[in-house]
Amino acid sequence: MFKAIILAAGEGTRMKSKKSKVLHEIAGKPLIYHILNSVKKAGFDEIITVLGRNYNDAKEIVEYFGSKVIKQPHEPGSPYGTGYAAKICMDEISEEDDLLIMYGDTPLIDDKTIENYFNYHKNCANDITVLSAILDDPKDYGRIVREDGEFKEIVEKKNMDPNLFYSNEINSGIYLFKGKAFLDTIVEINDDNPKKEYMLTDTIAIGRGLSYKVDAYISDNHDVVLGVNDREDLYLCECALIARENKKRMISGVMIHNPESTYIDPDAIIEEDVELSGFVKIIGKSIIRSGSMIENSTICNMTIGENCHIINSTCEDSVVEDGVKFGPYSRIRPGSHIASGAKIGNFVEIKNSNFGEGSKAGHLAYIGDADVGRDVNIGCGVVFVNYDGKKKHRTTVGDHAFVGSNVNLVAPVVIEDNAFLAAGSTITKDVSKDALSIERGEQKNIDGWVIRRGLHKEL
Ligand code: UD1
Ligand code: CA
């Protein structure tokens, strides 16, 4: 069987965080999520994840991908190291298995790379193949040491001999083993080093000693080997992942004006000729149809029709038909349906409402729990008063109704088609069609009052 082991039980001390390293997020998902997602896609028969102190926090997400979980002890004095974490999985592996072992902090591995790497390993009939890369800056990665071109061992940065020359070929921490080679080498690992650490990397020199065929597959895609040890690595991985996703989108016809500040969820569907500009976040299973333009906005689980224009707005869990305009500074909250040609302007909030075709709410309004018909005008400062302190109530506004500025619609209330609500009215009773409703205190003008009060200023 083709099995994968993911080692994710380390202490992650370099992150300087209370949160487990593998649960830190890039592009909105934990590191371990990205890895399991790629491993799952690569079609392994079985996935085994080693967790430690993070067991309770990480278990759910690991099991979501159908992975088995093995718990590495983390009490003070427990054995430690990548070699130990792999060793406790021995019982899960048989001699006939093919085995991928990788670390939970290398989030950019993708299924295509795994496939090519596995084919290389098979075609060369290797017993152990390490995925390596040649980097300009090998940072703290373990180094591949070759002798006359032959892969000899991996040396960790901390164990490098200052008098020797090392190439820039690094160990990605991703290994393929034949089951037997794994079982024979892993038992030989010891913690005979200053840090008393069991190192999986030692399997290379041990394997050679046992006459196994040991090799390194040099990946020319440097992103896939990026590992996360500290916050800067996290940032670099996020940049690389976002760049990769954005490149795919541009190839598929999406214009991204500022790719360095644009994040698109891989689950989103974005059609050709959509333009994204400025700081844009598209989260979840959003759909954006052709010709729409999104500027400086956050879009979460939205369906957005063709030729919409959304500026500086936050929109979530709603459906928007074609040719709708939002913003600047509109907020569309869950459960809303905005019909085609509608205009929602600055500082307008819509929640759990249907907003009809061609209707407009240009400025400073709250529309909550409402069914608004077509070609309705919602004036500036209109509030749909939907909450009585205990319950939410709905408001209905019919087609072609005119809701003047600063009107309060106290729900439940029904405004019929073509009704006209005068500015400043607080509407508590239903209004029938074609009626004017006006609810105001009577206006009094008192001549000369300013002068008598001594408030008059010469012009
Ligand atoms: C490791 C490699 C190094 C390689 C680099 C690639 C070793 C000894 N070194 O170094 O050659 O270049 O990865 O990124 O393997 N873990 C456990 N249990 C443990 C210790 C660690 O599960 O007891 C897990 C961690 O959660 C982590 C992974 O193993 O996901 C790697 O551990 P880490 O300490 O980050 O190794 P590096 O120092 O990066
Ligand atoms: Ca690491």
pLDDT tens digits for range 297-331: 999 999 999 999 999 999 999 999 999 999 999 99
Which atom of ligand 1 approaches the CA of 140 most closely? 12
Q: Which residue has its alpha carbon closest to ligand 1 atom 28?
A: 103
> Cβ(141) to ligand 1 under 6 A?
yes
pLDDT of 249: 98
How far apart are alpha carbons 112 and 219 in whole angstroms?
Answer: 12
Q: How far is the CA of 203 from the centre of ligand 1 (A)?
A: 14
245-259 pLDDT per residue, tens: 999 999 999 999 999
pLDDT of 194: 87
**Which ligand has the minimum distance to the alpha carbon of residue 172?**
1
Q: Is the model's pLDDT at 386 over the cut of 90?
A: yes
Which atom of ligand 1 approaches the CA of 200 most closely? 15
Q: Is the model's pLDDT at 426 over the cut of 90?
A: yes
pLDDT of 149: 84
Q: How far is the CA of 103 from the centre of ligand 1 (A)?
A: 6
Q: How far is the CA of 80 from the centre of ligand 1 (A)?
A: 10
**Which ligand has the minimum distance to the alpha carbon of residue 202?**
1
What average pLDDT score do residues 65-71 get? 97
147-198 pLDDT per residue, tens: 988 899 999 999 999 999 999 999 999 999 999 999 999 999 999 988 899 9
26-48 pLDDT per residue, tens: 988 999 999 999 999 999 999 99
Q: Which residues does the annotation mark as catalytic?
A: 363
* pTM summary value: 0.84
Percent of residues, the chain, with pLDDT higher than 70: 100
Residue of 21, 69, 103, 168 best suited for mutating to test ligand 1, as the one with most atoms within 8 Å of CB? 103
> Cβ(142) to ligand 1 under 6 A?
yes
> Cβ(200) to ligand 1 under 6 A?
yes
Which atom of ligand 1 approaches the CA of 172 most closely? 6
* Local confidence band at 104 (pLDDT 50, 70, 90 cut-offs): very high
Q: What is the mean pLDDT of the chain?
A: 96
Q: How far is the CA of 164 from the centre of ligand 1 (A)?
A: 24
> Cβ(83) to ligand 1 under 6 A?
no
Q: Which residue has its alpha carbon closest to ligand 1 atom 35?
A: 229
Residue of 7, 14, 53, 82 best suited for mutating to test ligand 1, as the one with most atoms within 8 Å of CB? 82
Which atom of ligand 1 approaches the CA of 50 most closely? 22
Q: Which residue has its alpha carbon closest to ligand 1 atom 14?
A: 227
